Amino acid sequence: MRSRMLIAGIAAIICFPVSLSAHHGAASLYDVNKETTLKVTITEFVWTNPHVEIGIASVEDKSARWLLELGSPPNVANRGWTSRSLKVGDVVTITFNPGLRGARIGKLVKVVLANGKELQA
């Protein structure tokens, strides 16, 4: 019986759809059911692997800072991002899934630039 359960378990794992999140999942780091939207100043924008990094500081409370991750460069490039989409000092409205347990990290959902252009994660 135990071996049958094991085989069923392995079959379930094998049949799990291939993850389109190529490198890192999100559920164990971020509250994917919660979205936080803030007007922020960009403190860093790093076009890097495995995922593009965005540093933000709240306009209302500059001590409130987060480090957000985006997808990998080729994937986000397909959605209109370039290495110059953001620069330090830009003021934008940003939506992200915040880190679990109060961690000052997040997973970007979307950003609305000062000119109204919207970029999706």
Contact (Cβ atoms closer than 8 angstroms) between residue 94 and residue 41: no
Chosen residue from 34, 36, 37, 50 binding other proteins by CB under 8 A = 50
Between residues 3 and 115, which has the closer beta carbon with respect to other proteins?
3
Beta-carbon neighbour count of residue 4 at 10 Å?
A: 8
Residue 92: both structure tokens together: 């934008």
Q: Output phi, psi for 11, to 5 deg.
A: -60, -40
Chosen residue from 4, 5, 19, 116 binding other proteins by CB under 8 A = 19
Q: Closest separation between CB of residue 82 and other proteins, Å?
A: 10
Stretch that binds other proteins, among 7-15, 34-42, 86-94, 108-116 (CB under 8 A): 7-15
